[in-house]
Structure 1
């Protein structure tokens, strides 16, 4: 991954570590940069400029009243995965911001949750060349049974940093 910003450079260095150490190093790094992800126990399984996979264990601290991963924790997963991707691709002179989060809860989730988000090469190029803009980042969330209990749409925008 070409380092287009400081964050991409750091993630690139972490991704050059041996495979067994990458996930833990990425998780620890983002837990320091975005403390709430560490507090919630998000684990980064994979992260590069085009794809992010993160998960959360169904543990007491993130559960709802019926013992499943809380609805807001699932949104945190989707926002984090898409945000990490946008953050890796937006140049340092731009600020990424979440514009819209839409969730349709279609069935009861069971067990741990995993989210996978993607950016196309066209979306990544758009972030590099356009001064400001927005894009919908595709995201899929699966529960411990491999089913998709939630349909999520995340729209991210970027604008120039204020000087």
Structure 2
């Protein structure tokens, strides 16, 4: 079994603090600033799973007053990326998003929660296309969006 990732260690420490979810989410958005545009809150993280929430605010709306399609994509990529970062053994492997296929199933007129999950434990390969399924749900627990995000996983090479 692989040891806990650095990201999961930080997550665990943040959970001991008041506003730990908020603090951790801010740190993630500091590291990857574009995600800050949707003001996400990561609410669960473990190897193989991540979930996050985006509030239904004007800043993420489209012209009809619902959560914009690209805000939904942004939330899906955030969950998938944080989950993969927490799951891939950082000492031997690295990852980068390679592609995304999405389906918009309904207008999003409430807060939205994203869930990214893969089976764990798993054997990590070199030059692997890992498909990460992400599902977004509204406050009524209705599925409103799905994404399959392809993460390109490679072994780290030794450099001198």
TM over 0.5: yes
Alignment equivalent of 1:126, drawn from 117, 123, 142: 123
Residue aligning to 1:26: 24
Q: 1:10, CA displacement in angstroms?
A: 2.3
Q: Are the structure 2 counterparts of residues 14 and 132 from structure 1 closer, same or farther at C-alpha, using a change threshold of 3 Å?
A: farther
Counterpart in 2 of 1:96?
95
Contact in 2 for aligned 1:3/1:9 (Cα 8 Å): no
Q: What residue ranges of structure 2 are gaps of 5+ in the alignment? A: none
Asked whether the equivalents of residues 42 and 56 of structure 1 are also in contact (C-alpha less than 8 Å), the reply is yes
Deviation (angstroms), 1:36: 1.8
TM-score by length of 1: 0.83
> TM-score scaled by structure 2?
0.85
Look up the SS of the partner of 1:80 in the other structure. Answer: helix
Q: Deviations over 1:9-65 (max 9, x none)?
A: 3233334x15x5331222122121111222321111111112211011111111100
Question: What residue number does 1:7 align with?
Answer: 7
CA contact (8 A) 2:67 2:107 kept: no
Take 1:100 and 1:58, find their aligned partners in 2: how far apart are those partners? 26
Matched, 1:153 2:151: no
Decide whether the 8 Å contact of 2:129 with 2:153 is kept in 1.
yes
Q: How many residues align?
A: 157
- Please give the root-mean-square deviation of Cα atoms over the aligned residues, in Å: 2.2
